[in-house]
Chain A
């Protein structure tokens, strides 16, 4: 069965420090991968999505970046965190039908609660 791992669960970082959040998926190949952020009491904001290795689409201009060095690994990074980067970060994957731009249901990780102080 497919599983998604996201870590760490919680993180407290000072302003200006770097960030690296990692997400890995098991039990599937060539998934679509997504990073979302949810500020307190707000909806889910799509940050990045990827349809293949090295293919990253950015949805919101910001000081965050994403990379997909392997098929089932998705990394969210920042060189210098801002207070506004605080939030609940979620990684998700979905099945991608080869040769078609179609995405079935998405499966989410347990999330990382980031507090920038």
Chain B
């Protein structure tokens, strides 16, 4: 299974943009890149997913490298409610397991 690598933790100031990186050098051509986040004592929440092109939704943007070996989740203006563990995972055709790694713990500084 293709794996992802993320930094263990990151800090960002409130109201500033946050760029959360993810490496997935063994991604297959049919794998989508998914991002989830988990608030304390809750189940993970879907954030965004993409295949090749950059994606935007109301929560965040996803920038995917041209070779698809890395991606970046962008929170345009961090709030205290964005403090969570962010997971980057791969899933798609023939890969339905949705295996989570350890994620990045994002701390927002007021």
Q: Footprint of B on A, CB under 8 Å?
A: 32, 34, 36, 42-46, 49, 51, 57, 59, 88, 90, 92, 94, 96, 100-111
Residues in B10-59 with C-beta less than 8 Å from chain A = 34, 36, 38, 41-46, 49
**Interface of chain B, helix or strand or loop or mixed?**
loop
Chain A hits for B96, CB < 8 A: 32, 49, 51, 94, 96, 101-103
In the complex, besides A46-B97, A46-B99, 16 extra interface pairs with C-beta distance below 8 angstroms are A44-B38, A44-B44, A46-B98, A90-B43, A92-B43, A92-B44, A101-B95, A101-B96, A102-B93, A103-B91, A103-B98, A106-B36, A106-B46, A108-B45, A109-B43, A111-B41
Given A34-B98, A105-B49, CB of A43 within 8 Å of CB of B44: no
Closest 7 CB pairs of A and B: A108-B43, A44-B100, A105-B46, A43-B102, A103-B96, A101-B94, A102-B93
Of the residues B34, B49, B100, contact of A46 by C-beta under 8 Å: B100
